[in-house]
Structure 1
Amino acid sequence: MATAAVARVEMSEAEWEARQELAACYRVFAMLGWSEMIYNHITLKIPGEDGAFLINPFGLHFSEVTASSLVKIDIDGNKLDDSPYPVNRAGFVQHALFHRHLPDAHCIMHTHTTAGMAVSSLEGGLRATNFYACNFAGQIAYHDFEGVTVRDEEGVRLLEHLGSKRVMLLKNHGILVMGRTLPEAFLKHWSLQRACEIQVATMSMGTAIEVTPEVVAVHQRDLHMVQIPGGPGAADFAAMVRLVDKIDNGWRA
């Protein structure tokens, strides 16, 4: 499907690089089965442009997003380019809130994956019953479901419930993660998605084995020992982009 594009005239190199990185991420999510029709959102701040960030064009599937079709908006939801696409208010309200108030929320990801929604709808949420879940023990915030996120006044409670954490399960709703970089946010989402998938599978078989707080503490302490240079998630995300390119590199345009 052909998609409308924003011209690169007078676009900074930083913006184009951000567009390419974010477009690649949408394609990776589509490849991994994390898309939800034309809904859900991944947003990315544009370096050097205070309050400006990129969001997916409302109406396109994740697999159709390209670097030039992404929509550039400001913190108040105003378009900053000549994109013909609208912006989903449910995405803007939530993401703009965090981009506005959290300087370290460079990239924000929100999805409705089956496993993520299932665990977010479970009393007690994510439990320390598998390797990936132990990564997040004590680090996940929870927010009660208040309906589709289109009302600005819900933002006060979202920020309050998030606190100093940067991973949240929106109860009865889905996954929300933030990162200082897009690859960091990607790795958080991938790990949380895996934790949820495994919890769903484990609970279908019977009573899960709970990992003790002492072992969780050792696990979290030692996780850095299995990271490679480049920053959190950098190598992981690069590997996924290479896989996407084997399928279709049209997202680069």
Structure 2
Amino acid sequence: MRVVDHDQSDLRSQVSAEEWAVRVDLAACYRLAAHFGWDDLVFTHISARVPDTHDFLINPYGLMFDEITASSLVRVDLEGNKSLTSPYDINPAGFTIHSAIHAARDDAYCVLHLHTMAGIAVSCQKAGLLPISQQASIVVQSLAYHDYEGIALNPDEKSRLQQHLGNARNLMLRNHGLLTVGRSVPDAFLAMYTFQRACEIQVLAQGSGAELLHIPQPVLDTVPEYSKAVLRGAGSSLTWPALLRKMDKIDPGYRT
């Protein structure tokens, strides 16, 4: 991996232990997205709220996901002003999307947005995500849609993003990609993993040309109880420590 000189090693002493912990989780999330092949050069974004503030952390515009570290993340307020000195700028479209959701949802501690091929492929389909897999059966319990309005540079789009997302956990951005909201970085990551898998399965199943079998509604109606457990963090509390162990073996630089 190419090494980029973005040493801000003294930053840890400038922030609270709680903020540093979020920074480490968020940097790990970026590296995991790269590991799973979900990145799109430098053009998508994951954000996390700084504890006990309205500020949030987001990626430095221009760094690849596998270059992001805890100290390189940029801290901004809801107006887009840096609230901690950083040599980096942020993606304006990323700010539009993430600031809208952090402002509207008190439970939006992490917002994860991707441009994966499978996610975009399904977002282009009129019927959206189909209930044809176990993964999809979980996602559709809390899924909303937002129509494409062009690259997200218009502040007026914020209110529509907020309205369309509502209280949902998953948002399909039509002709654009996927977005998940979580009460923590681990929660948002697990939601995205499930969402992305559901889209991959759908595209593969459609490509076979076979008639698709939808999960019956009475079966779908049994899923919310499981989803409640996921929303309480039961799933991410198991998966996240394992994912961090994986990253510590193959790419531990995110912690710096």
Is TM-score (shorter-chain normalized) higher than 0.5? yes
Deviation at 1:221, TM superposition (A): 2.9
**1:233 partnered with 2:236:** yes
Deviation at 1:150, TM superposition (A): 1.0
Please state whether the residue corresponding to 1:199 is helix, strand or coil: helix
Deviation at 1:212, TM superposition (A): 1.0
- Please give the alpha-carbon distance, in whole angstroms, between the structure 1 residues aligned to 2:192 and 2:4: 29
Partner deviation per Cα, 1:7-26 (whole Å, 9 max, x = no partner): 23331111111111111111
| Structure 2 counterpart of 1:82 | 85
| Structure 2 counterpart of 1:24 | 28
Structure 2 unaligned blocks of 5 or more: none
| Structure 2 counterpart of 1:35 | 39
Please state whether the residue corresponding to 1:168 is helix, strand or coil: strand
> Given the superposition, is the C-alpha separation of residues 234 and 139 from structure 1 closer, same or farther in structure 2, using an over 3 Å criterion?
same
Please state whether the residue corresponding to 1:152 is helix, strand or coil: coil
Matched residue type, 1:36: D
| Structure 2 counterpart of 1:129 | 132
- Please give the alpha-carbon distance, in whole angstroms, between the structure 2 residues aligned to 1:111 and 1:184: 16
Superposition TM-score, scaled by structure 1 size: 0.94
- Please give the alpha-carbon distance, in whole angstroms, between the structure 1 residues aligned to 2:226 and 2:169: 20
> Given the superposition, is the C-alpha separation of residues 145 and 230 from structure 1 closer, same or farther in structure 2, using an over 3 Å criterion?
closer
**Equivalences for 1:117-196 in 2 at 5 Å?**
117-196=120-199
Please state whether the residue corresponding to 1:137 is helix, strand or coil: helix
Matched residue type, 1:244: M
Matched residue type, 1:202: A
Over the aligned positions, Cα root-mean-square deviation in angstroms equals 1.6
Please state whether the residue corresponding to 1:151 is helix, strand or coil: coil
- Please give the alpha-carbon distance, in whole angstroms, between the structure 2 residues aligned to 1:222 and 1:88: 36
Please state whether the residue corresponding to 2:223 is helix, strand or coil: helix
> Given the superposition, is the C-alpha separation of residues 219 and 11 from structure 1 closer, same or farther in structure 2, using an over 3 Å criterion?
closer
- Please give the alpha-carbon distance, in whole angstroms, between the structure 1 residues aligned to 2:82 and 2:205: 45
Deviation at 1:138, TM superposition (A): 4.2
Name which of 102, 109, 112 aligns with 1:109. 112
- Please give the alpha-carbon distance, in whole angstroms, between the structure 2 residues aligned to 1:8 and 1:136: 36
Deviation at 1:185, TM superposition (A): 0.8
Check whether the contact 1:134–1:220 (CA below 8 A) recurs between aligned residues.
no
Deviation at 1:191, TM superposition (A): 0.3
Deviation at 1:222, TM superposition (A): 4.2
> Given the superposition, is the C-alpha separation of residues 196 and 156 from structure 1 closer, same or farther in structure 2, using an over 3 Å criterion?
same
Partner deviation per Cα, 1:73-97 (whole Å, 9 max, x = no partner): 1111101222111100010111011
- Please give the alpha-carbon distance, in whole angstroms, between the structure 2 residues aligned to 1:221 and 1:69: 39
- Please give the alpha-carbon distance, in whole angstroms, between the structure 1 residues aligned to 2:124 and 2:109: 27
| Structure 2 counterpart of 1:57 | 60
Give the fraction of aligned pairs with identical amino acids, expressed as a percent.
40
Check whether the contact 2:46–2:58 (CA below 8 A) recurs between aligned residues.
yes
Superposition TM-score, scaled by structure 2 size: 0.93
| Structure 2 counterpart of 1:3 | 5
What is the aligned residue count?
A: 250
Structure 1 unaligned blocks of 5 or more: none
- Please give the alpha-carbon distance, in whole angstroms, between the structure 2 residues aligned to 1:224 and 1:165: 13
Check whether the contact 2:171–2:179 (CA below 8 A) recurs between aligned residues.
yes
- Please give the alpha-carbon distance, in whole angstroms, between the structure 2 residues aligned to 1:238 and 1:112: 26
Deviation at 1:161, TM superposition (A): 1.2
Deviation at 1:220, TM superposition (A): 3.3
Matched residue type, 1:168: L
Name which of 200, 205, 211 aligns with 1:207. 211
Going by fraction, where is helix more abundant, 1 or 2? 2
Check whether the contact 1:43–1:95 (CA below 8 A) recurs between aligned residues.
yes
